Structure 1
Amino acid sequence: MSGVVRTLSRCLLPAEATRERSDSKERSRDRDAHQQERDARRRSREIDSRLSQERRSIRRLVRILLLGAGESGKSTFLKQMRIIHGKEFNQKALLEFRDTIFENIIKGMRVLVDAREKLGIPWQNTENEKHGMFVMAFENKAGLTVEPSTFQHYVPALRALWQDSGILEAYGRRNEFQLGESVKYFLDNLDRIGELNYLPSRQDILLARKATKGIVEHDFVIKKIPFKMVDVGGQRSQRQKWFQCFDGITSILFMVSSSEYDQVLMEDRRTNRLVESMNIFETIVNNKLFSNVSIILFLNKMDLLVQKVKEVSIKKHFADFQGDPHKLEDVQAYLVQCFNKKRRNRSKPLFHHFTTAIDTENIRFVFLAVKNTILQKNLEDIML
C-alpha cells in the first residue's frame, strides 16, 4: 500500500510543483503591478508638485514690459537694471559696445558734415572740407567691427571738425535733422575714446546708441521675488512684435522722451515725436487687455528737457500750452496733463515719474518707488 502511495506521490509532485510555480509567478506579477502602480502614483504626484510650483512661480513672477517710441530710453533703462542689480557686462559685451560707440561717433559726424552743407553754413577753416570728405567716405559693412587702429585714423579729422564753428553751428540746429543725442558726449571725450586700449566706461555704455531689434529680456531677483523685464524695439517697423509680449504682463513702463517736443520722427520726418508718443500711449492705456495691468509713465531725458526749456519754447510746437514756456515746472505739468487726457478712464491717478535714464542713482531711486507700486498692486498673487 505504502508503495502505491509513494508512486502516486511521485506522479502528483510535478503537477503540484507546476501549480506552485504558476502561483509564484502570479504573485510576482501582482507585486510588479502594485509596484508599477505605486511608481506611477509617485511620478504623478511629483509632476503635480512641479506643475504646482511652476504655477506659483509664474504667478509670483513680476513681468515688466518696456514700451515707447524709438529713442525714448528703454534700452538705456534696461542697461541700468543690469548695473543696479549687479549683472556686469563681460569682455565680449564691452567690445561690442566699443564698436557701437565708434560707429556712433563717425556716423554722427557724417550727419553734421552733411547738415552743415544742406543748411548753407560755411566752414570756419576751409581745410576742414578735406576732413569732412574723409569722414563722409567712411563705410562699414554690416556685421564688421571697427578696430581701434582703424578708428584712430579718423580721430585727427574728427577732432578738427568738432572744433570748427561751422559744425558747431550745425549742431546747434540739430532739431532740424536726425542726430543721436550722445554724439556731443562722445566727441567731447574723443581723446580718451581714441586710445588703442580703450574700453567703454559705464557712462559710455549707457550713452551708446543701437536700435533695438527684436525682444531683449533681463531677469533679476529682489527679496526672493523674480522679475523679468522685457524691452521691445520702439521704431514703427518693430511695433508689430509688441503683441508677442502681452501675455502675463504685471506692469507696463511706458517711456517718453520728454525733451523731443521740437523734433520729428526719423521714420517720416513730419510727425512730431512727442505727438507720436502720446498716440502710442493712448492705444496702450485704453486697451482692454491691460485693464488690470499697472501702467506707469516715465517722462524720460529730464537732463535734456532742463536745458531745452531754456532755449526752445514749447508753445511754438504745442499752441494750447498755458504758462511760462521757459519755466520747467510749467512744461512738466503740461506734459503730464497731455498724457493724462489720453486716458478714457481717469478715475485713478496717473502714476508718472520724470527720469534721466543715464543717471544710475536717479533710476535706482525711481525704480524703488515703481517696484513698491507694482508689488503692492500684485501682492496677493506674489504671496501665494
Structure 2
Amino acid sequence: MLIQNNNNIQQASTRKREKVLILGPSDSGKSTLFHMLKLITSGHDVDAKFENNLRIVSSWVIERIWEAMGEQERNHLKDLIPELRSVFENTEDANLATELQNRDDCCEILVTLWKIPFFREFYESVWSRDGISMFENVKELVSRIEHKKSFSPYSLVHCRTTGILSYETMGKNTEIEVIDVGGRRNERKKWIHCFEDTHTLIYMVSLSEFNQTLIEDNSTRRMDESLSLISEVMNSRWFVGLRKIILFVKPDILCKKLENGVKYGGELNPNILPELDRIADHYLKLVINSIITEFFKKIDRTTIDSYHIVNNTSEDDIKSVCEMIFGERSAQKTTFISPCIIPANNRMILCLFNICLQEKLTDIQIITSNEEENYY
C-alpha cells in the first residue's frame, strides 16, 4: 500500500497543469461553452439538479417573452389559454419567473405556450430585433423538454456570468482548469486576476450579433465592441507566447437571422478564405468570411494557433473542437466548421470525419464518387 501511495504521489507530482481562460464580451457564448465543456467532461446533471435547472431556465424564457409583449398581445394570449390566466394576472412581471419556478409544471407551461402559433410567431418576430434581449434557443429547449433529453439547461439559455467561474478536469496526463469570467464592461476589471499562469486563451466571437447593441450601452454595436476587445486582448503583454484560439460561435443563429430577412449591414469581402469554401450558401459564406476577416485585421494572425466555427450548443461540435484543441491532433492548425452550415449532402462526410477524429484515427482521407476531399 505504501508503494502504491508513493507511486500515486509521484504521478501527481509529474502531472502537468494547464489553465484555459475563456474571454469575450457579454453574450458572446462564453458561459454556454463553459457549461458545455463541464457537461462533456463531468457528465450530465444529477436528476434533482437537472429538473431544478430546467424549471429555472423555462421560467426565464416565459418571463422574457411576456415582458416583451404589449397589453394587447398579453390579453390575446390570456384569451387563448384561460387555464393559465391566473398565472399571469396574479403575478407582478418582476416576480413571474420566481412564481413559475415554484410550480412543478413550469416546463409543461412553456411547452403548452410554444404550441400556440401566436406565441411562437410573436417570439419569432422579436427575438432578432436590435435593442431586445431575447433568448435565442427556445425552439431547441422546448424540443429537448418534449423528448425528455438529458442536457445542461444553462447551455441553451444565457445566464449572465458575474465574477469568476472555474472547474477542473483531467486530460491525458494533464490537469486542466477552465475559467469563465463575466463579459460586461463592469466585469472586465476582474479579468486581470485570472491572467497569471494561463496556458491557453480562447476568445469568443458571436457571428449573429452584427445587428445588436450592448445591453449596458445601446449606442455601441456588439460587433464593434468585440472587434475593439479582441485587439486589446490578443495584443496584451499578458498573453505573449500563449496558445490563442478564436471560436466563432452561433452560426446556427446567424443562419436563422439571414433566413428571416435580417440584412448584414457590414461591407462584404469577396476574397473567401480557402477553408470556408465548404459553405455552399454563397451569401452566408460571404457574411461569415467578411466577419472573420474583419477580426483578423485587428490581430497578428501568425500568433493565433487556430480558429473554428462552432455551434456551441451542440455536444458533437464541442467534442470535435475539444479533440482538435486539447487532443492528439492539437498540433495541426486546422479549422473546424460546424455541420449546421455545411450543405446536407456533405454533412454525412463531415460527420464521418468527426467520428474518426474522436476515435483518434489518423491520416484520414475521405473519397467520394465525384471528387476526393482531403478535409484535414
Cα RMSD after superposing both structures: 3.8
Q: CA deviation at 1:328?
A: 1.9
In 2: Cα distance, 1:54 partner to 1:188 partner: 43
Match of 1:178 in 2: 133
Give the direction of change, closer, same or farther, for the CA distance of 1:154–1:247 in structure 2 (3 Å limit).
Answer: same
Determine which of 32, 35, 39 is the counterpart of 1:83.
39
Match of 1:167 in 2: 122
Q: 1:147 to 1:352 in 2, by over 3 A?
A: same
Q: State the AA in 1 paired with 2:118.
A: Q
Q: Any idea what SS the aligned residue of 2:55 has? A: helix
TM-fit CA distance, 1:63: 0.5
1:365 matched to 2:320? The reply is yes
Give the conservation status (yes or no) of the 8 Å contact 1:66–1:230. Answer: yes
Aligned AA (1:103): S
Residues 1:312 and 2:312 are matched in the alignment: no
2:79 equivalent in structure 1: 127
1:140 is paired with a residue whose SS is: helix
What is aligned with 1:330?
286
Pairing 1:156-235 to 2, within 5 Å after superposition: 158=113, 163-164=118-119, 167-168=122-123, 170-171=125-126, 174-186=129-141, 192=146, 201-202=150-151, 204-235=153-184
> What stretches of structure 2 of length at least 5 have no aligned partner?
1-8, 273-280, 333-376
- How many residues align? The count is 311
Change (3 A) 1:284 1:125: closer
Taking structure 2 as the reference length, the TM-score comes to: 0.69
Which residue of structure 1 aligns with residue 365 of structure 2? none
Q: Which structure has greater helix proportion?
A: 1
1:1-384 matches, within 5 Å, as 60-114=16-70, 127=79, 134=89, 137-140=92-95, 146-149=101-104, 151=106, 158=113, 163-164=118-119, 167-168=122-123, 170-171=125-126, 174-186=129-141, 192=146, 201-202=150-151, 204-310=153-259, 311-314=261-264, 316=265, 318=266, 320-323=267-270, 327-343=283-299, 345-348=300-303, 351-372=306-327
Distance (Å, rounded) in 1 between the aligned partners of 2:80 and 2:291: 42
Say if 2:19 and 2:177, in contact at 8 Å, map to a contact too. Answer: yes
Contact 2:21-2:200 at 8 Å conserved across structures: yes
Q: TM-score, normalised by structure 1?
A: 0.68
Which one has a bigger Cα radius of gyration? 1
Q: For 1:172 and 1:301, how far apart are their aligned partners in 2?
A: 14
For 2:246, the aligned partner's letter is: L
Give the gaps of 5 or more residues in structure 1: 1-49, 194-198, 378-384
| Deviation digits for residues 113-147 of structure 1 (CA, Å, limit 9, x no counterpart) | 14x86xxx898779359859639734439988812
Q: CA deviation at 1:351?
A: 2.0
Q: Tell whether the 8 Å contact from 1:105 to 1:186 is kept in structure 2 after alignment.
A: no
Structure 1 counterpart of 2:263, one-letter code: S
Amino acid at match of 2:89: F
